[in-house]
Amino acid sequence: MSTVLVVNSGSSSFKYQLIEMDGETTLASGLVERIGDAEGRAKHTVFAPAATAGEGAATFTEATYKRRLPIPDHTAGFRVMLEAFAENGPALDAHPPVAVGHRVVHGGARFFEPTLVTPLVEINIDELSVLAPLHNPANLAGIVAAKKAFPAVPHVAVFDTAFHQTLSPAAYTYAIDAKLAADHRIRRYGFHGTSHKFVSEAAAAFVGRPVAELKQLVFHLGNGASVTAIDGGRSVETSMGFTPLEGLVMGTRSGDLDPAILFHLARREGMSIADLDALLNKRSGLLGMAGSNDLRDIRAAIEKGDASAVLAYEVYVHRLRQYAGAYLAHLGGADVISFTAGVGENAPHVRAAALETLAFAGVEIDAERNHAVGRGAPGADGGIHVISTDESRVIVLVVPTDEELEIARQTLSVASA
C-alpha cells in the first residue's frame, strides 16, 4: 500500500493530506496555522474505516485533534505535524509516504508538468516569485521544511499554471509592447489548472469517453473563480491571466475591467499602487459590490430585497454567460460542461443562470436534476451528477473537485517514473 503526502503551503500556514493511493482514500488531513505568531494552531483529522462497516466498506469515521503551541517557522510546523501523526495516527511507519507532493502556484513558462524537486527546481520556483510574490516564497518555504521532515523520499512540485501551458500564443499574448512584455514575462498563464485537469478528466471518465475526443468547459467557481475551455484534454483558453485577477467576478476580486480605471483612480483619488492592488484583489467582486464575498449572503440579501445584492448577482451571472459564449465560440461547441468548487457544486441557481441562454448551442438544463445537486440537497453525496436533460446535446455535470488527489496522482506518477 503506497501513500502520498500532499502539502499546500502558505506564508503562515500549511495544509496536508495523507492519501492512500491504491484506493485513493484520505487517511489523515490537517492544518498548521499562525506560524510565526505567539501562539500557533495545529489541527489533525484521522479518517478510519467505520468499525461497524463490513470488509471493504467505504464508510469512514473521523476524529479531529487540536493543539495550540508556538510554531516559529515551517520547519517547526512539520515537526508538529509529525507529532500529530505519532500521537493520533495513522502511524507513518505503517504508511510511509513514498513521495511528497507540493502545490506551487506559479510555474511560469518553464514548468508544464509535475516536476521532481531538485536544488535547481527550487531556484527556479524562487526566481518565479517575481510573478507570484505572495505565493511562490510560501510554497518554497513548505518544500524546504518538508524536505527536512522527509529527507529520504522524492518531493514533487505540481504547478497551478502547468495545465494551461498548452494555450496558443494567440490566447496567451496581451496586445502590448512586445519587448516590454518579453522583458517582464507578461503574458497570460492561467491558474486553478490542477482543478481544471482533475474535473475534465473525471467528467470524461463519467461520460465514458476518452478525454482526447471531448470539447469541454469547466467552471471552477469558488472564492476565486475561473473557466477553462479544454479541447481533447488540452487547455486552449482560460479566464485568469497574468495573475488570478483577470476574468470572472470573484468573491473579492474584480475580474475583467478597463485598465484605464486604474489611471483614473490614481489621478482623481491619489491612490497608490498598493491601494489599487488591495482594491481590486481584496475589496472588489461580490464583496465590493454588495458587502459580502459569500454567495450565500448575497442570496439571503436578495431575499430581503437588497438592491446592491441583486445587481452584484446579475453582474456575476452576466460575466459567466459572456465567458460561456466566448469559449463555445473558441471550441466550436462543447460536448461536456462541468461546474465545480464552492459555488459550482452548491448553487443550482447560478448554474442555471449561467447556461440559460445556450439552448441554441445544444445546452438544456433539467431544473429538477439541477436543484437536486448541492449542499443540503439529496444529490449532496460527493459524487458526479448530470444536470442536463436527456435530450441536451451538451452533457452538463456537477463534478466535485479534488485538487489534493490530483496532486497526489501527479506526484506518484513522477515518483514512480
Does 107 bind ligand ADP (CB under 6 A)? Our answer is no
Report CA-CA distances (Å) from 334 to 50, 120, 208, 321.
Answer: 42, 40, 16, 15
Closest C-alpha among 155, 24, 27 to residue 94? 27
What positions carry a catalytic annotation?
A: 160
What does the buried/exposed string (b/e) look like for 74-105 if buried means 16 or more CB atoms within 10 Å of the residue's CB?
bbbbbebbeebbeebbbebeebebbbbbbbbb
In the shown chain, the binding pattern of residues 213 to 232 toward ligand ADP, with x for contact by CB under 6 A and - for none, equals ---------xxx--------
Site for ligand ADP in 349-388 (CB under 6 A): 374-375
Q: Is 246 annotated as a binding residue?
A: no
Closest C-alpha among 221, 213, 189 to residue 342? 221
Query: Which window, 33-41, 144-152, 173-181, 337-345, contacts ligand ADP (CB under 6 A)?
Result: 337-345
Site for ligand ADP in 38-77 (CB under 6 A): none
Q: Work out how close the CB of 15 gets to ligand ADP at its nearest, in angstroms, rounded to a whole number.
A: 11
Q: Is 270 annotated as a binding residue?
A: no
Task: Give burial (CB, 10 Å; 0-12/13-18/19+) of 140.
Answer: buried
Closest C-alpha among 346, 356, 353 to residue 379? 346
Does 251 bind ligand ADP (CB under 6 A)? Our answer is yes
Q: Is 282 annotated as a binding residue?
A: no
Among 247, 255, 342, 379, binds ligand ADP (CB under 6 A): 342
Does 295 bind ligand ADP (CB under 6 A)? Our answer is yes
Size of site (CB under 6 A) for ligand ADP: 15
Residue with cell 520556483: 125
E strands present in 77-207: 97-104, 115-116, 155-159
Q: Is 222 annotated as a binding residue?
A: yes
Among 228, 346, 388, 392, binds ligand ADP (CB under 6 A): 346
Question: Which residues, other chains included, contact 260 with Cβ-Cβ below 8 Å and sequence gap of 6+?
Answer: none
Residues lying near ligand ADP in the complex (CB under 6 A) are found at 222-224, 251, 293-296, 341-343, 346-347, 374-375
Task: Give binding residues for substrate as ranges.
Answer: 103
Task: Give binding residues as ranges.
Answer: 8, 15, 103, 220-224, 294-296, 342-346, 403
